[in-house]
Amino acid sequence: MLEKLKEDVFRANLDLVRHGLVIMTFGNVSAIDRSSNLVIIKPSGVSYDTMTVADMVVTDLTGNVVEGTLNPSTDIQTHIALYKAFTTIGGVVHTHSAYATAWAQAGESIPCLGTTHADYFYGAVPVTRRLTTEETEKDYEYNTGLVIAEVIGKRDPLTMPAVIVNSHGPFTWGETPDKAVHNAVILEEIARIAAVTVSIAPQRAIDSHLLDKHYLRKHGTGAYYGQKK
């Protein structure tokens, strides 16, 4: 099971490059094996061009390396905080994709202005509060995960599978690493569309009935989008 998950994480990291969401050594994808509570993540600072499956790093839920010869991504503690907070997720992605990061640097949530957004995210994609000096100086990466969980609150994290961290960038998640990457791709597109929209004219949020229709026809028990399995 762990070997298959390593392959999934490796391929998901390469998908970030394929979709144009990362440059150089930016970004990371991880997955968790809930049966063993082990996390697999991209190594820190290793080029996507040379990275192999064997480079994937396995840690426990405190961040201790249990398998692998390289250091895990510096964001490992953020991923761990999210896996602890959101028990239904199986994969986490972090990028510095341009438009989502622009919203983060502006310190603004990505407003839900139309149905393209509503198909994937049930409302505005929230931005976190700024970290305090103390939160930045001690346990910075773990505290980043905590402020993400804080802004999600009691919502189902699978209905809002993305947050933009104030002054930093986007994190997305899903039931699998592939789904987390999918959400990162969609997040960047809706961030781009929203930025263009508000540059044309001030906008108000999508009508709630239209948001409900578009989100719920693709998600939940009454969904009817796509083909029956």
Answer whether residue 38 shows pLDDT above 90.
Answer: yes
pLDDT above 80 (res 228): no
The pLDDT of residue 186: 98
Residue 94 main-chain phi, psi, to 5 deg: -130, 130
| % pLDDT > 90, the chain | 93
Helix (H, G, I), strand (E, B) or coil at 155: coil
The pLDDT > 70 percentage for the chain reads 100
Residue pair 165/148 in contact by the 8 Å Cβ criterion: yes
Q: What is the pLDDT of residues 145-201, one digit of tens each?
A: 999 999 999 999 999 999 999 999 999 999 999 999 999 999 999 999 999 999 999
CATH number of 2-216: 3.40.225.10
Instruction: Tell me what pLDDT residue 222 has.
Output: 84
How much is the pLDDT for 216?
Answer: 94
Q: Please state the rounded mean pLDDT for residues 197-220.
A: 92
Residue 223 neighbours by CB under 8 Å, 6+ apart? 216, 217
User: Which residues fall within 8 angstroms of residue 2, CB to CB, at 6 or more apart?
Assistant: 33, 36, 38, 40, 58
**Angstrom distance (rounded) from CA 133 to CA 135:** 6
- As a whole number, mean pLDDT of residues 45-52 equals 95
Q: Per-residue pLDDT tens for 77-125?
A: 999 999 999 999 999 999 999 999 999 999 999 999 999 999 999 999 9
Show the DSSP H helices in 138-200 as ranges: 140-152, 177-200
Q: Hunting for tokens 């029956």 — which residue is that?
A: 228
Check residue 77 and give its pLDDT: 98
Contact 59, 75 (CB under 8 A): no
DSSP assignment of 61-125, as one string? TT--EEE-SSPBPTTHHHHHHHHHH-TT--EEEE---HHHHHHHHHT--B---SHHHHTT-SSPB
Q: Is the pLDDT of residue 70 over 70?
A: yes
Residue owning tokens 């994480």 = 9
The residues annotated as belonging to the active site are 119, 225
Q: How confident is the model at residue 229 (pLDDT cuts 50, 70, 90)?
A: low
Q: Which residues contact 48 (CB under 8 A, 6 or more apart)?
A: 13, 14, 16, 17, 22, 25
Mean pLDDT of 9-26: 96
- Tokens read off for 20: 């144009």
Checking if the pLDDT of 28 tops 80, the result is yes
CA dist 12 to 2, 94, 102, 175, 177, Å? 15, 12, 23, 13, 6
Residue spans per domain, the chain = 2-216
Given a contact cutoff of 8 angstroms between Cβ atoms, the answer to whether 67 and 57 are in contact is yes
Contacts of 162 (CB under 8 A, 6+ apart): 121, 125, 170, 171, 172, 173, 183, 184, 187
